[in-house]
Amino acid sequence: MSEVKQYLARIGARGGRKSRRTLDAATARTMVLVREARRAFRRFRATCFWSYRPDLVIGADDIPWVAEQLMKHGNREAWRVGAKLCR
């Protein structure tokens, strides 16, 4: 087998193993919510967050605020995303 095939087989086998990162379920859920809140902030910036800096960093403490702004100032789709963040 060529060196390239051996290398690809070695790194491919690593992908199938269990991740080495150990996160508890609550931390993992929070990370997902932060990612979704950041995505919503960028997506609905023109309608719901126009008065805030475009480079505002959204963290875990900002998730309820993002959800509130989406549900208060957004359209139906923004409201749906905000409600999803509240779960």
Q: What domain range is 56 assigned to? A: 24-86
Structural domain contains residue 63:
yes
What confidence tens digit (pLDDT) does each residue in 57-66 have? 999 999 999 9
Structural domain contains residue 49:
yes
Number of H helices, E strands in the chain: 5, 0
Structural domain contains residue 18:
no
Euclidean distance between CA atoms 28 and 69, whole angstroms? 24
Reply yes or no on whether the pLDDT at 35 is more than 90: yes
Two tokens, residue 40: 């919503």
Closest residue by Cα to residue 39 from 6, 27, 75, 31: 31
Residue 3 carries which side chain, given as an amino acid letter? Answer: E
pLDDT score recorded for residue 2 = 84
Structural domain contains residue 38:
yes
Euclidean distance between CA atoms 35 and 33, whole angstroms? 5
What confidence tens digit (pLDDT) does each residue in 38-63 have? 999 999 999 999 999 999 999 999 99
Cβ pair 60, 34 in contact under 8 A: yes
